[in-house]
Amino acid sequence: MEESGGGNRLIMCGSLILCALLAFLLRALPWRNFLGADGRYLFYGPDSYDHLRRIILGMTEFPRIPSFDSYYGYPVGTGQIWSPLFDYLISACVLLFHGDAQMVHRVGFWLPPALSFFTVFMVYAAGTRLFGRGAGFVAACIFALMPGHIIYSFVSELDHHVAEPMVCLALVLSLLKVVERQQKRRAQSFSALKTGGWMVFAILIWRGSVIFWGVAFLALAVQIVADRLQGRATDELANYGRNLCLFAALLLTPVCAFNLWGTSKGMSFGIVSWFHVTMLVCFAGLFVLLGRKYTAKVGNWPLVAAVVVVIFALVVPGTQRFVLELLSGLAVIGGKDPWLDSISELRPMLFPEGKFALWHVTETLSFLYWLFPVLLVLLFARWRRSGYGDFRFSLFMVWGSFFWLIPLFRERYVHLAALTTALGGGFLFCLLAERSAATYGKGWARCFAGVIMVILLAPVATFLWRIPEAGLPEYEKNDLMAALTWLREKTPATSFYHTPYQRPEYGVLADWELGAYIDYLARRPTVATNFGWETHGLFESAAFLTSQDPRDAEKILRHNGVRYVFLSQVAGNLPRLRAIAEFGVRKKNLHVSLPQPFKPLATMYYRLYVQDGSAYRVGGSSEQALGTYRLVYESANGSVDPVAGFVSHYKIFELVPGALLHGRGKAGEVVEIGLRLQSPAGRGFFYHDSTVANSAGEFTFRVPYATASKSGEVQPVGTYRIKAGKSGFTAEVNDADLLAGAVVPVKASN
């Protein structure tokens, strides 16, 4: 395509810098909204805190890569199941400048918009190589404004998401440069090594980079087939594809052979392992087949190759495992999974909240997203006019088609769609300017094309207008941080936090989304984490929260060494959590009973979070009090439940043996017990329960609160008062009796 950005290079360079600065400023604009009440940096989402945890561990163990964390997926622990290079590079850079945890926070807080600044230049470079300098500049400007990328690169979003477009662009630029030289018959020294190196770098930054591998392989394969059909030589391009795959496999082999971080010796799609080496070798073999010349003697080679592959798959050990892992990886994109479906970013982009939302897509990626299929048709026409020989077009058609489609299944990939959408916008701008230049002249043609681009980008204005309001909700900035601080400072410290290779003393159970917060900010081991079913704890947490049987629930806690239960507002997610628990039972990863029908108002979550562990009536039936759970902390702010009244945003319960109160009344008599309590939030509430005296007139209650001292921050008001018919009793419980599970006789009241 004819370049449309001629003129002074200095002006272009200055304009590009301004564009990159705009990208940085848009993403950094709401930075004050991510500061805590004390001015400290707060981070967005559990993934950010997970990265902070691994960066700090990387600094502690440098130059070794941390291989195990006993604080994640407690009590089993979690190996290095994530690509480590993103965190490792940050650890190394901070250590290089003799930094500490505070520097990690500063770097992590500002890193996403800073990387976005440099990504703009990479978009320009890709657009220039694909369609010309003018297209590259327009693409860079569109990318700077694209909400699809901004939502993953806001200040405080310390995650590898912001690096994914960069490694994708690096791989694409490497392919374009090499094939461009090949088509111009220029010498190629170490070209495959460079591209293979980028492939390995990409997979070590983000394990999902196999997507980029697939795009590169498919684009090369499409071009090789097109060249063959046009009667052109294919051996050079096929050899390049073969060599880059083999070199990448060679680079990854030591990682797996020496098992550098303890999890690479297996065959797993989700962990850098022999799976990726095998995939690269398979790609290399397919390039060999694609590069073969047809002759009469080998005219049936495709059939022979297919038979060989089938036999290989059935006979060679590990091949079936490879296929299963490949299918599991594809299922992450398009499969049904209750945990993945519970994550908002992994829902289809057209159904972000379960309802069809066309405007959501349009606002996120502009009208250009919906025009993209038309652009692909126009690109195909240009490819055809080139005799199907211009690799720029075949590459962008494969790349653009894939990332146009994939957000329709998982919105998590929208920042990669923003890349191709922006580049498509650059192509469209140049096409419009080119077509209208003959009528309006070059200058007016550009103005016309610019007006059209502004109209197409208009939907993003509503998102950009809201950027100053972006930030963490107040309850997270205040109540969650206060609850985590209390957990860290007021509960017994656990061991091995900085060297987590041994099992700590106890764990904390919470919804999986809070796992990384508790681990990093409260410095306590967590059962469920944001790694979901990839490690221990997800199914156990979901089963506890949705359990309708207190005995099964307590077994889960004791089996997993849990001492504290950290609860938050997840009432709307209870059906999803139940589905996760049922999924764990079906997969035989969880061995509990899940009675039907599911009754959210009878779950452990509701009994603790809303009813504070007291007895209550619901739907005509009574639920007994939970005598082994005592509330030790609740946040100052909350919401109002229509039945229970005020409910704090966050509550922490401690699992205790509970004291056993024993008394005697009349046989068959209803006996009620109550204790008034005062929470740190100033809320008064009443712990109560009831039972029926047995045939000997005896009754017992297991109670979780001491009357002689506070339970955490919860203050008892008076003593236990027991009513059995017309008789009254009192009971005083000290903390030692409570923690020993001792029997305490009740006293007749005066």
- Residue extents of the structural domains in the chain: 200-335
- Read off the pLDDT of each residue in 413-420 and give the average, rounded to a whole number: 96
Instruction: Tell me the pLDDT of the chain averaged across its residues.
Output: 90
What is the side-by-side order of every strand in the sheet holding 629-634?
Answer: 507-510, 562-568, 650-655, 629-634
**Which DSSP state fits 711?**
B
Which residue, among 737, 564, 744, has the nearest Cα to 657 in the 3D structure? Answer: 737
pLDDT at residue 37 in the model: 86
**Quick one: average pLDDT of 359-379?**
95
Q: Which amino acid is at 473?
A: P
Residue 296 has what pLDDT?
A: 42
The predicted model gives 321-339 an average pLDDT of 76
* pLDDT over 50 at 3, yes or no: no
CB 205 within 8 A of CB 86: yes
Closest CA to 133 of 306, 4, 292: 4
What pLDDT digit, counting tens, does each position of 662-718 carry?
A: 999 899 899 999 999 999 888 999 999 999 999 888 999 999 999 989 999 999 999
Determine how many CB atoms are found less than 10 A away from the CB of residue 6: 12
- Which parts of 386-480 fold into alpha helices (H)? 391-405, 414-440, 442-457, 460-466, 474
DSSP 273-304: SHHHHHHHHHHHHHHHHHHPPP-STTTTHHHH
Alpha-carbon separation of residue 520 from 57, 73, 84 (angstroms)? 11, 14, 18
Per-residue confidence (pLDDT) for residue 260, from 0 to 100: 85
Per-residue pLDDT tens for 220-260? 999 999 999 998 888 888 989 999 999 999 999 999 998 88
By CB atoms closer than 10 A (0-12, 13-18, 19+), residue 421 is buried
Express each pLDDT in 449-488 by its tens digit.
999 999 999 999 999 999 999 999 999 999 999 999 999 9
Nearest alpha-carbon partner for 584 in 598, 570, 594: 594
**What pLDDT score was predicted for residue 5?**
44
User: Residue 570's closest CA among 533, 545, 598, 534?
Assistant: 545
HSE-up (13 A, CA, CB side) for residue 142:
38
Alpha carbon dihedral 289, 293, 298, 301, in 10-degree steps, equals 20
- CA–CA distance, 53 with 517 (Å, rounded to integer): 10
Distance CA 179, CA 168 (A): 17
SS3 state of residue 69:
strand
Higher pLDDT, 338 or 48: 48
Four-CA torsion 606, 608, 609, 615, nearest 10 degrees: 70
User: Does position 295 have pLDDT exceeding 70, yes or no?
Assistant: no
Local confidence band at 593 (pLDDT 50, 70, 90 cut-offs): confident
| 3-class state of residue 71 by DSSP | coil
Helix (H) or strand (E) run with residue 252 in it: helix 235-257
| 96-139 residue pLDDT tens | 999 999 999 999 999 999 999 999 999 999 999 999 999 999 99
pLDDT at 311: 56
Which residue type sits at 350? L
Model-wide pTM > 0.85: yes
Nearest to 247 by CA among 292, 195, 308, 177: 195
